[in-house]
Amino acid sequence: MNSHELFEARLLPCQDEMWGLYASLYGDNWDSFSYFLGMLERSLDQRKPALREQDEKRLANPDWCRSSEMLGMMLYPSCFAKTLPGVQEKLPYLKECGINYLHLMPLLDSPEGKSDGGYAVSDFRKVRPDLGTMEDLETLADACRENGIALCLDFVLNHTSEEHPWAKAARAGDPVARSRYFFYDNWDIPNQFEWTVPQVFPTTAPGNFTYLPDCGKVVMTSFYPFQWDLNYSNPMVLNDMTENLLYLANRGMDVIRLDAVPYIWKQLGTNCRNLPQVHTLVRLIHLACQVVCPGVLLLGEVVMEPSKVAPYFGTPERPECDMLYNVTTMCTTWSTVATRDVGLLRHQMEQVCALPRTYLFQNYLRCHDDIGWGLDYSWLAQWQGQGEVPHKKYLNDWFTGRWPGSWSRGELYNDDPRLGDARLCGTTASLCGVESALVSGDHDALERAIRCDLMLHAWMLSQSGIPVLYSGDELGRLNDYNYHGDPAKVDDSRYLHRGNFQWDQAALCRDESTVPGRIFQGLRRLETIRGREQVFRADAEVSLLEPENRSVLAICRQYGGEELVALFNFSEHSQSARCPEHGWTDLVSGQKVDGGFLTLPGYGFLWLKK
C-alpha cells in the first residue's frame, strides 16, 4: 500500500482515542489537531523503506526486545571515539563486548558551557558540530542496523536551551514564541509556584525561575537558568516537539529516551511533578509513534519513588512508555552494598516482581548521572528504625571513603548540608574498591573489589529487562579526576565518571593477568551464559526465595518449564545461605550442586539451574 493508505490504516484504530486525549488538554481545538494529524502523515511519508521494513518485522515480533540476548551499553560519543564517524569505526569493539543495544548520550546541538551535559538543546535537528552532522548520525544508525545493534538517543521534552530559535524570538518580544514558554512580567506568579514546587538543584541552580534583565521578564527554568521550560498547555509545543521526535526516529533511532518526562506539565498550586496531563501527553506521543514508526520504543526517564514509576508504563491496553529506567533498584543495590543487609532490596524486588511481566525495564549499575538516594525511607524507618538523613549520611560517608574501614572512592554531588542531603558520583569499579586497592597495592583488597564488581554485574544481569553497561565499566574503569582542573567542569562532580574512554585499557581486554582483562572476560562469560538461557528473558516469572541470611539475596526465575535460582552475597565475608534441595548445575562453573545450606564466599554468587 502507498504511504497515505498506510497512514489511514494505522490511524483508524486510534484516531478516536487520540482526539479524546488531545481535546482533554486543548479543548475543541480541531485546527491544532488537524495540524497534528497532517504532521503525522508527513512524518510517515518521510520514513525510508528500510525503516518501514523494520517496523513491520517488529510488529510481527513485538517481543524482540525481551530476548535474553539483549545487552546494552550507554556512552558519550565524544568520550568514546570523539565523533560519530569515530563511533562507527569502533563498532567491532562493541560487537566484541556483545552489545546489541547502544544508547548514545546527548549529541544534539547545544551551547558550549551552557549545555548541562547536552540537555540544553538549541536545535533538535542538528548534531553538535564537533561530533559530526545529522547525516553522520543517520549513517551510524544504518551501520548499527546492519550489525544487529538497536540505537537509542536522548530527547529532551521538558525544555530547550535559551539559544534555541524559539527562545531567542521570545527574548526579543515575539508573543507567539513567548507562549511556548512560561513568561511573566513580575515575580507574583513565580513566587506562588515556588511555594509548592521543589527545587531540582538547590545548591547549583536554586529556584525554579530566572529573571531576564535584557527584556525585563521572568521565565520558568526548573533545571538550570539556561534551560527554559516548555509550556505544553500550548498545543503548538506538543505538535512541534512530537515532530522533532519523529524526525529523529526517521534518522534511524530504535529507542527514544524521554528525558525528565515527569516534569513536562506545569500547574499552579501543585508540585509540577507526575500530573495526570503528563500521562496524557506521553500516551499521545506513543500513539504518534504507533502511526509513524511502530518499531520504535519510548524509554522513560522517571527518577521518582517506586509508586510514581510504574504508572508511566500505562496499561497493556493503553501503553505510554515501552520501557523505563529501573532507578530504584539501582539505588537500593548500592545501599545494600554499604549496609550488607538485603532487607530493603528484597522489599524493592517484591514490588518489581508484582508488576505485569509485560513491563520492560532498562537495568543498570551506573550511568551518566549521579546516584540519588531515592529509597523507601518509610520502610526503613518501620522495619529497621533508620531515619532518612542519617541513612543518607552513612551511605555518602561509606562511598566517599569517609567511613572508617571504607574502601569505596566516590564524590558528592549537590551536597546540601541544610537538608542533610547529597547525591553520589563515581564509577562502578571505584565504588567497589578497585581504585583504593590499586593505590595501596593490597592484593587481597583487589581480589575482594573485583569479586564485588562481578557479583554486582551478575545481579544486574539477573534482573528482568535489558541490562545496560556504562561505557568503561566492562574494563573496570576508575574515576577520572581530571575535571578538577577544568574550569567549565569543576563544579559538576558527575564528570568524575564521564571521563574519556581509555583505549589502552581496552587493548588489555583479552589479557586476564590484568584488571581490565579479568573484568572484561568475567563479564563476557556471564553475558554469554545469559544470552543462551531463555530463563533470563525479560518476560520470565521472577520470585524471591528465603535464604535465611540477611546478607544474601535469593531469587528464582522460571520460563518455559526451566527454573534458575540465583544467590548473591552482599557481604565481603563468607555467608551460609539456604537453597532449595534439588539437583542443580552452577551455570558459571559447571559443577553439580545439591542444594540445602551453601557457603558463598565474600561477594560470591551462584546461578543454579535444574
Per-residue pLDDT tens for 426-445?
999 999 999 999 999 999 99
Residue 164 within a domain: yes
The continuous run of DSSP H or E covering 135 comes out as helix 134-146
Q: Is 22 helix (H, G, I), strand (E, B) or coil?
A: helix
Give the mean pLDDT of 365-385. 90
d(CA 344, CA 116): 33
Identify the three-state secondary structure at position 162. Answer: coil
Residue 407 pLDDT > 90: yes
Helix and strand numbers (H, E) in the chain are 23, 25
| Rounded distance between C-alpha atoms, residue 115 and residue 492, angstroms | 12
According to the model, what pLDDT value does residue 595 have?
Answer: 86
Residue 341 lies in a domain: no
> Is residue 436 in a domain?
no
Q: Is the pLDDT score of 235 beyond 80?
A: yes
pLDDT per residue as tens digits for the range 91-142? 999 999 999 999 999 999 999 888 888 999 999 999 999 999 999 999 999 9
- Looking at residue 420, its pLDDT comes to 72
Helix axes 515-532, 443-462, angle to 10 degrees: 20
Q: Quick check: is 111 in a domain?
A: no
Q: pTM score, two decimals?
A: 0.95
How far apart CA 361 and CA 323 sit, in angstroms, is 5
Burial 119-158 (b: 16+ CB within 10 A, else e): bbbbbbeebbeebbebebbbbbbbbbbeeebbbbbbbbbb
Residues with catalytic annotation?
Answer: 259, 301
Give the mean pLDDT of 251-271: 97
Alpha-carbon distance of 211 to 61, in angstroms, equals 51
The total number of structural domains that make up the chain: 2
- At residue 305, the pLDDT reads 67
Domain end among 229, 244, 263: 229
Q: Is the pLDDT of residue 555 over 90?
A: yes
Whether the pLDDT of residue 307 is over 80: the answer is no
- Can you give the pLDDT at residue 306? 65
Around Cβ 211, how many Cβ atoms within 10 Å?
A: 15
Percent of the chain with pLDDT over 90: 90
- Sequence-ordered list of residues with C-beta below 8 angstroms from that of 139, at least 6 positions apart, any chain: 84, 85, 88
Give me the pLDDT at residue 205, please: 87
d(Cα 274, Cα 319) in Å, to the nearest integer? 16
Residue 37 is classified by DSSP as H
Containing structural domain, residue 556: 541-609
Strand pairing partners for 425?
Answer: 411
Please check whether residue 323 is in contact with residue 361, taking contact to mean a CB–CB distance below 8 angstroms: yes
Confidence class for position 417, pLDDT limits 50, 70, 90 = confident
Instruction: Output the CA–CA distances (angstroms, integers) from residue 64 to 49, 57, 69, 254, 537, in the order listed.
Output: 20, 9, 10, 12, 10
Residue 414 is predicted with a pLDDT of 83
> Burial code of 62-94, b = ≥16 C-beta within 10 A, e = fewer?
eeebbbbbbbbbbbbbbbbbebbbbbbebbebb
Q: Would the pLDDT of 1 be above 90?
A: no
Pick the last residue of a domain from 214, 229, 244.
229
Rounded Cα–Cα distance for residues 574 and 593 (Å): 18
Helices (H), 428-583: 428-432, 434-440, 443-462, 503-506, 515-532
Q: What is the pLDDT of residue 331?
A: 95
| Poorest-pLDDT segment among 279-293, 312-326, 445-459 | 312-326
* CATH value at residue 207: 3.90.400.10
CA-based nearest residue to 120, from 213, 252, 210, 217: 210
Whether the predicted pLDDT of 171 surpasses 70 = yes
Q: Does residue 600 lie within any of the structural domains? A: yes
Q: Residue 416's pLDDT band (boundaries 50, 70, 90)?
A: confident
CATH of the domain at 584: 2.60.40.1180
Distance CA 255, CA 238 (A): 19
Yes or no: say if 163 and 152 are a contact pair by the CB < 8 Å rule.
no
In DSSP notation, 525-542 reads HHHHHHHH-GGGSTTSEE
On whether the CB atoms of residues 323 and 70 are closer than 8 A, the answer is: no
Residue 105 lies in a domain: no
Residue type, 436: S
Strand partners, 542: 557
Q: 409-441 burial string, b = 16+ CB within 10 Å, else e?
A: bbbbbbebeeeebbbbbbbbbbbbbbbbbbeee
Integer CA distances (angstroms), 427 to 329, 340, 374, in order = 17, 20, 19
Domain membership flag for residue 465: no
Query: Would you state the cell numbers that stand for residue 63, as one nine-digit string?
Result: 517481543
Residue 493 lies in a domain: no
pLDDT higher than threshold 80 for residue 216 = yes
The 8-class DSSP code of residue 272 comes to: S
Q: Are strands 297-300 and 255-259 parallel, antiparallel or unpaired?
A: parallel
> Dihedrals φ, ψ of 83, to 5°?
-135, 170
Closest CA to 41 of 9, 76, 74: 9
